A = this chain, B = another copy of it.
Amino acid sequence: MLGAALDLFAEHGVGATSYQMIADRLGVTKAAIYHKFKTKEDLVIAVADMELAKLQDAIEEAEEQGCDTQARELLLARVVDHAVEHRRAAHILQFDPVVVRLLSEHRPFQLFLERLYRALTSGQRDPGTDVQLAIVLSAISGTVTHPLAAQRDDRALRSQLLHGARLLLDLPDSGKRRRPRRVSRPQAS
């Protein structure tokens, strides 16, 4: 049910998705959905929460390791993995105006994102680093649903995104993770 809502959010935008649409897709009536979620905001919160929860473990791991370079690397890879595997979700969380407003106003989300940002930047938070982070997160979440990349298979996309993110964040490339496979970037060399 949250999955059906997510699909429709991605197709039409959160603000343009009605209870009726979700009910139709599920083959039930609106009332059945209102029984679980009293308001539309509750529903959106539940969807956002479901997706952000998938990064919870990765953040806690990074925090336990003191957010050093290696921990950043690992967390970054998990963020990329999530975005590639749940493309529409990543897109909505970053770019839908309704969700973005909700994330900025709802306290639990504020705290969660603050933790994510701190872990990804090793705690360094200044305007320059914040923008750098915005660039990386926008690149990841925007690319996975971009018409130019929508057809790209998960593995190749993941590889290119990780490479780009490391470039942008000044992290060493193709270091210790996975087998050192040459990625298909035509202009390299």
Q: Would you call A4 an interface residue if the criterion is a C-beta within 8 Å of the partner chain's C-beta atoms?
A: no
Q: Does A64 touch B at the CB level, under 8 Å?
A: no
A135 pairs with B139, CB closer than 8 A: yes
Kindly report how many copies of this chain are found in the complex they form together: 2
In A131-170, which residues have CB < 8 Å from any B CB? 131-139, 141-143, 146-149, 151-152, 156-157, 160-161, 164, 167-168, 170
* Nearest CB of chain B from residue A117's CB, rounded to whole Å: 7
Interface centre among A11, A138, A139 (most CB of B within 10 A): A138
CA distance A187 to B167 in the complex (A): 12
| Pick from B91, B96, B117, B135: contact of A160, CB under 8 Å | B135
Name the contact of A100 in the complex, choosing from B14, B117, B133, B147 (C-beta under 8 A): B147
Cβ of A97 under 8 Å from chain B: yes
A: number of interface residues (CB 8 Å): 53
C-beta contact mask, A70-92 vs B, less than 8 Å → 1, else 0?
Answer: 00000000000000000000010
Instruction: Tell whether, in the assembled complex, residue A157 and residue B131 are in contact, meaning their CB atoms are under 8 Å apart.
Output: yes
Docked Cα-Cα span, A167 to B187, in Å, equals: 12
Instruction: Determine the chain B residues whose CB is within 8 A of the CB of A184 once the complex forms.
Output: 127-128
The distance in angstroms between the C-alpha atoms of A15 and B10, with both chains bound, is: 12
Chain B nearest Cβ from A119, distance in angstroms:
14
Q: What is the interface of chain A, defined by CB distance below 8 A to chain B?
A: 10-16, 91, 94-98, 100, 104, 117, 124, 126-139, 141-143, 146-149, 151-152, 156-157, 160-161, 164, 167-168, 170, 184-188
29 residue pairs bridging A and B, Cβ less than 8 Å apart: A10-B97, A12-B97, A13-B13, A13-B14, A13-B15, A13-B98, A16-B16, A94-B146, A95-B142, A104-B147, A127-B156, A128-B186, A131-B143, A131-B149, A131-B156, A131-B157, A132-B185, A132-B187, A134-B146, A135-B142, A135-B143, A135-B149, A137-B148, A138-B141, A138-B142, A138-B143, A138-B146, A142-B142, A170-B187
